[in-house]
Amino acid sequence: MSIDAQTVKHVATLARLQASPTEVEAYAEQLSRILTLMETLNSLPTEGVMPMSHAVDIPIPERDDVVCHTDQREALLACAADTDQGHFRVPKIIE
Amino acid sequence: MDLSHISLTDAAELLRSRSLSAVELTRHFLNRIETTDPTLNAFITVDAAGALAAAEAADLRLAQGQATPLTGIPLAIKDLFCTQGLRTTCASKMLQHFVPPYESTVTRRLKAAGAVVLGKTNMDEFAMGSSNETSFFGPVRNPWDHDRTPGGSSGGSAAATAAGLCLAAIGTDTGGSIRQPAALTGTTGLKPTYGRVSRYGMIAFASSLDQAGPMTRSVADAATLLQAMAGHDPLDSTSIDAPVPDYQSGLTTSMRGMRIGIPAEYFADGLADSVRRGVEQAMETFRSLGAQCLSLSLPSTAYAIPTYYIIAPAEASSNLARYDGIRFGHRCADPQDLQEMYARSRSEGFGAEVKRRIMLGTYVLSSGYYDAYYRKAQKVRRLIADDFQSAFTQVDLLLTPTTPETAFRIGEKNSDPVQMYLSDIFTINVNLAGLPGLSLPCGFDENNLPVGVQLIGRPLQEATLLAAGHAFQQVTDWHLRRPS
């Protein structure tokens, strides 16, 4: 499987990553090689096999939705790069 | 007595008898780190003040006779566990300045037992790598040969343990990240059953594969640490609610009559002669202990690498979507709009391998390719797990090499992602199937580099793995050898 520059650019947009022309070229080459390795799976018949999404088959536990750890605003805002008056600040979205 | 390499049991005895204080022991390791770590680069953050405060508290507890086997024991923690108030970077520029507002369950449990956290160890960025070369903070050097890698991703934890910069360390293993560096540094590394140890507060890479475990200089030490780490945690929805056995007392279980399976696929071409010799010698040792070795086949083995490198990047691309530059992590300077802020913050904050895996994961999950890659890989994952299940109807344990070769040189594989991925060939199957795996030192190659043997067990049978490993270490001394 070979991935072209157009596909790389599309995937980069989906992944919210920038890719310079050199990076696009490198990704195209590397991802193509990795996907070739992955295509060895096609030789293995898997019809009727149940996909395995988790290592351990346990039911997902449920709990009551109870408020805990209240008043963490300052601690959480302290992790952010830009805050203002108790809020996260981001570039203007609406003109 | 050389404090740097004593066992957890001996250290606990010295502390309990008050022949040594926790503060003295902690100072010893802080001094070792200060003199040795500039060469090894095993630590990203050393918390001398926090460690000494914890040691003082441990001394008080010891004086009151309220010690646990871990009270006053200096440990190194992979920089992927959130530690409240102590910087946690995941070896990424993205989290270079991140100070978590909460504590991971693993570190909370260890601290509650009285353990002293010396600092946070270096690793591959976001645990993506097998050589520690993807760290934003530079590569870790293997204590056995400074030109070689200690493996990865828990390379800092492995190097610190091997070099005696801590009494033991904690790592995580998504595709071999505890066992492979343990093998490459002559240490003992245990990846427990998926769900045995809580993932709460571990920075997520691939959530259906990640698991934390001990990295130590003996199996007995690993048993002590696992005892404190294992158990149900309501904060992790995949945590298994099953009783935790007494691992220490289980260590003396006899190997007589134990059936050990030897999967032929793990001894194919590409296995270095020195590794083959070490592993075959380990087989002989287990036979001499009364175990029976049986050849068997795990036919889907060859498909594990492509399966893993679809599933793990897919989960990673989803997990790493949270790094948006807004709530925490790196934010680019002066973005013009929100989209530019996302893309530039992420592109500046993530390193090359992390970006490559996000790209790969995004591709295999994208419209039109989901069934061909991701769904297909999930089906093959089932076949791989079924292979193991069927093997465990015939045998109690499996024995394999941990890695196809001994420690490779820094720079040797990092230009070729495919070559690097292939170094996980014997460990990733275990993660895909969710099983426990233990790597033990079992010899040295012609360059005096350690060789590792891997034992794989049934789900939740860590006690069996530890008993076998302990029996092996009672009659061999590979785990006692130290780098000069």
Determine the Cα–Cα distance for residues B144 and B185; give it in Å rounded to an integer.
7
How far the first Cα of chain B sits from its last, in Å, is: 17
Give the structural domain span for B404: 3-258+396-480
A60 or B199: which carries more pLDDT confidence? B199
- The angle at the Cα of B375, spanning B370 to B380, to the nearest 5 degrees, equals 145
- CATH number of the domain bearing residue B44: 3.90.1300.10
CB contact residues (below 8 A), chain A span 32-61, against chain B: 33-35, 37-42, 44, 46, 49-56, 58, 60-61
How far the first Cα of chain A sits from its last, in Å, is: 44
Quickly state the pLDDT bin for B120 (edges 50, 70, 90): very high
Residue B197: inside a domain, yes or no? yes
Residue B302: inside a domain, yes or no? no
Q: What is the DSSP string of B187-224?
A: -EEEEPPTTTB--TTBPPS-TTT-EEEEEESSHHHHHH
Among B208, B303, B418, beta carbon nearest to A44: B303
pLDDT for res B338: 93
Burial class (CB in 10 A: 0-12, 13-18, 19+), A6: exposed
What are the backbone dihedrals phi and psi of residue B136, each rounded to the nearest 5 degrees, phi first? -65, -25
Residue A44 to residue B383, Cβ atoms within 8 A: yes
- Residues facing A83 on adjacent strands: A88
Report the complex ipTM. Answer: 0.95
Q: What is the mean pLDDT of chain B?
A: 96
SS3 annotation, B4-29 = HHCCHHHHHHHHHCCCCCHHHHHHHH
**Each residue's pLDDT tens digit, B420-434:** 888 889 999 999 999
pLDDT at residue B302 greater than cutoff 80? yes
CA A82 to the chain's CA centroid: 23
**Each residue's pLDDT tens digit, A19-55:** 999 999 999 999 999 999 999 999 999 999 999 988 8
Decide if B316 contacts B128 (C-beta within 8 A): yes
A65 or B168: which carries more pLDDT confidence? B168
Residue B250: inside a domain, yes or no? yes
Residue type for B362, please?
A: T
Determine the Cα–Cα distance for residues A76 and B145; give it in Å rounded to an integer.
43
**Each residue's pLDDT tens digit, A27-37:** 999 999 999 99
Domains of chain A with bracketed CATH = 5-42 (1.10.20)
| Overall number of domains in chain B | 1
B164 or B416: which carries more pLDDT confidence? B164
Residue B309 to residue A38, Cβ atoms within 8 A: yes
Query: Which residues 6+ apart lie within 8 Å of B26 measured at CB?
Result: B51, B52, B54, B55, B72, B74, B116, B118
**Each residue's pLDDT tens digit, B419-472:** 888 888 999 999 999 999 999 999 999 999 999 999 999 999 999 999 999 999
Residue B483: DSSP 8-state:
-
Q: Residue range B296-319: average pLDDT?
A: 96
Residue type for B24, please?
A: E
Active site residues of B: 78, 153, 177
Nearest residue on chain B to A55, alpha-carbon basis: B434
Of B376, B236, B121, B306, the closest CA to residue A63 belongs to: B236
pLDDT for res B409: 96
Residue B285: inside a domain, yes or no? no
Q: What percent of chain B has pLDDT over 70?
A: 100
pLDDT for res B273: 96
Nearest residue on chain A to B242, alpha-carbon basis: A58
Q: Residue range B110-123: average pLDDT?
A: 98
Q: What is the DSSP string of B430-474?
A: HHHHT--EEEEEEEE-TTS-EEEEEEEESTT-HHHHHHHHHHHHH
Residue A56 to residue B193, Cβ atoms within 8 A: yes
B30 vs chain A: nearest CA distance in angstroms?
28
pLDDT at residue B1 greater than cutoff 80? no
pLDDT at residue B161 greater than cutoff 90? yes
Residue B359 to residue A79, Cβ atoms within 8 A: no
- Encode burial over B90-127: b for 16+ CB neighbours within 10 A, e otherwise: bbbbbbbebbbbbbbbbbbbbbebbbbbbbbbbbbbbb
Q: Residue range B38-53: average pLDDT?
A: 98
Residue A18 to residue B377, Cβ atoms within 8 A: no
Q: Residue range B32-48: average pLDDT?
A: 98
pLDDT for res A93: 80
Residue B311: inside a domain, yes or no? no
**Each residue's pLDDT tens digit, B346-397:** 999 999 999 999 999 999 999 889 999 999 999 999 999 999 999 999 999 9
pLDDT at residue B140 greater than cutoff 90? yes
Measured between beta carbons, the chain B residues lying within 8 angstroms of A84 are: none
Determine the Cα–Cα distance for residues B218 and B479; give it in Å rounded to an integer.
6
Nearest residue on chain B to A30, alpha-carbon basis: B417
Quickly state the pLDDT bin for A1 (edges 50, 70, 90): low
Of B202, B266, B213, B262, the closest CA to residue B235 belongs to: B202
Residue B344: inside a domain, yes or no? no
pLDDT for res A2: 81
pLDDT for res B481: 97
Measured between beta carbons, the chain A residues lying within 8 angstroms of B373 are: 35, 38
A27 vs chain B: nearest CA distance in angstroms?
7
Among A46, A72, A78, beta carbon nearest to B379: A46
Please give the structure tokens belonging to residue B158: 């492995």
Work out whether strand B259-263 and strand B397-401 pair parallel, antiparallel, or are unpaired: parallel
Residue B342: inside a domain, yes or no? no
pLDDT for res A60: 83
A28 touches chain B (CB under 8 A): no
Helix residue ranges, H only, B8-87? 8-16, 22-40, 48-63
Residue B55: inside a domain, yes or no? yes
pLDDT for res A58: 82
Residue A76 to residue B193, Cβ atoms within 8 A: no
Nearest residue on chain A to B339, alpha-carbon basis: A16
Of A8, A90, A72, A12, the closest CA to residue B324 belongs to: A90
pLDDT at residue B199 greater than cutoff 70? yes
